[in-house]
Amino acid sequence: MNLLKQMAVTLVLVTCATIAMARYYPASHAVLNSLGVPANLISMIALPDDPNDEATGRPGGGRSATAVITAPISTGAISTQVQAVGSSEAVRSVSVVPLDAGVLTQVAVGSGDVVAGGDLLAQLNADTEEIARDRAAVVLRSAQAEYTRYASLGQASAASQADLDTLLAARDDAELALREANVALENRSVFAPIGGVVGIVPVEVGDYVTTATEIAMIDDRSQIVVDFWVPERFASFVAIGQPVKANPLALSADEFIGTVSAIGSRVETDSRTFQVRALIENTADLLRPGMSFAISMAFDGDTYPSVDPLAVQWDAEGSYVWAVTDGVAKRVPVQIVQRNADAVLIEADIAEGVHVVTEGTLNVRDGVAVTVQSDATTDGSVADAGGETAVPTKTGG
């Protein structure tokens, strides 16, 4: 007997709940229909839909129009992000080697020194080259003197033109010999070809070095170059000058903005990717060549209608929004293209600028009048029904 009473009470509760849902929650009609409740029975239970009921003279068949807050539809582009890992190098790096072999008599720099282009880095023994230079200078002075003497005789017709030409050639040859000696002497000094920071210096005074011995590595770290690889489907989107976000894995809290400075001319067949090079300013000297970076690039795709996330509703038939035209709500089915933090891109038969309900959707029904209490604008402010705009403020407690 108790079981029959429980079943009867349960049946009554279910019936009451069904009537209440059908009468006061229009969004539940599709759910009730899917559960087997006949559509004509739902229509009988539900409140009238006539927005201008003659008996009451008020919208909604005797009910007050539903108060809602709306927001206009705008447009937005699909945002696609590319994530990659890249490695860095200095914008300019030079491994400095001597132009000649010999014993080091001076090492003028140390690890970490900042040098400018043309600064002396090291000096090789140069006694032989200094002697050769001095000898070439003596020969040039002698050749110059002899040529000058014969030239004065030539003015008096005491020397032939052939003798003068021979002496002129000897003088010119002596000049070339002196220049050659000066070059050989200069090659005994090692100068910085670029400005930058000196790495670890692997040599000391007294070491014998050859043209293959590294004196120092100089890195120009004023800018850092990061190389990374992008899938081939983005080949038409990447362009010179495009911004790039770079997060060094060693400094995960820091984010650097660079620009694309070079793009590979071909796609690698084994990985189906192509090379991209980005240039990052390093004015604070926080970055080092060889660091690894997490790279991200954003691309804008096709444009779609954009709505406030609160405007998108769901039921058994799928997602939809309530569009408001002339004070009447209309159910518009939508397909979600992309969901972002502040907007949802949709695909629907709806125009830009149409207002959709963002708050108060619970009692909205298709074809029923609504009262727009306020309207959320695109900059986050709220306009009341009279058209005045008020920017929300935050009060402290």
Confidence of residue 52 (pLDDT cuts 50, 70, 90): very low
Count the domains in the chain.
Answer: 4
Mean pLDDT along residues 242-257: 90
Query: Can you give the pLDDT at residue 391?
Result: 33
Residue 157 confidence (pLDDT): 62
Rounded Cα distance between 352 and 305, Å, is 7
Q: Are residues 139 and 167 in the same domain?
A: yes
pTM of the entire predicted model = 0.58
Identify the bridge partners of residue 243 per DSSP, sorted by sequence position. Answer: 259
- Average pLDDT of the segment spanning 77-87: 86
Which of these, 214, 256, 217, lies nearest to 88 by C-alpha position?
Answer: 256
**Residue at token pair 């690039």:** 297
Query: Average per-residue pLDDT in the chain?
Result: 83
User: Is the domain of 138 the same as that of 242?
Assistant: no
So what's the pLDDT on residue 64? Answer: 63
pLDDT at 280: 96
* pLDDT tens, position by position, 225-234: 999 999 998 8
Smallest Cα–Cα separation from 359: which of 320, 306, 311, 307? Answer: 311
Whether 381 has a pLDDT exceeding 50, the answer reads no
Across the beta sheet with 208-209, the strand order is 189-191, 120-124, 102-107, 208-209
The closest alpha carbon to 125, from 100, 158, 90, belongs to 100
> Residue 271 domain-assigned?
yes
Residue type, 367: G
Q: Determine, yes or no, domain membership for 164.
A: yes
Same domain membership, residue 297 and residue 237: yes
Does the residue 62 lie in any domain?
no
Same domain, residue pair 263 and 165: no
**Given this model, what pLDDT does residue 45 score?**
62
Average pLDDT over residues 159-163: 75
Lowest mean pLDDT among 40-44, 309-313, 381-385: 381-385
Are 205 and 110 within one domain? yes
Q: So what's the pLDDT on residue 24?
A: 62
Specify the DSSP class assigned to residue 46: S
pLDDT digits (tens, 9 = 90+) for 297-352: 988 777 889 999 999 999 888 999 999 988 899 999 999 988 887 889 999 888 88
In a domain, 366, yes or no: no
Asked whether residue 288 falls in the same domain as residue 222, the answer is: yes
Q: Look at residue 23 and tell me if it is in a domain.
A: yes
CATH number at residue 160: 1.10.287.470
For residue 333, being part of any structural domain is answered with no
> Would residue 58 count as lying in a domain?
no
Candidates 392, 225, 367, 194; CA nearest to 295 is 225
- Residue 250 sits in a domain whose CATH number is 2.40.30.170
Are both 15 and 159 inside the same structural domain? Answer: no
CATH code for position 205: 2.40.50.100
Q: 209 and 105 in one domain?
A: yes
The C-alpha atoms of residue 226 and residue 383 are separated, in whole angstroms, by: 48
User: Do 232 and 284 share a domain, yes or no?
Assistant: yes
Do 36 and 103 lie in one domain? The reply is: no
Work out the percent of the chain whose per-residue pLDDT is above 70: 80
* SS3 at position 277: strand
> What three-state secondary structure class fits 390?
strand
CA distance 321 to 206: 83
Helices 161-186/127-155 angle, 10° precision: 160
Instruction: Output 365 or 10, whichever has higher pLDDT.
Output: 365
- 226 and 202 in a common domain: no
Is the same domain home to 106 and 210?
Answer: yes
Q: Which residue range forms the structural domain that includes residue 173?
A: 127-186
273 falls within a domain: yes
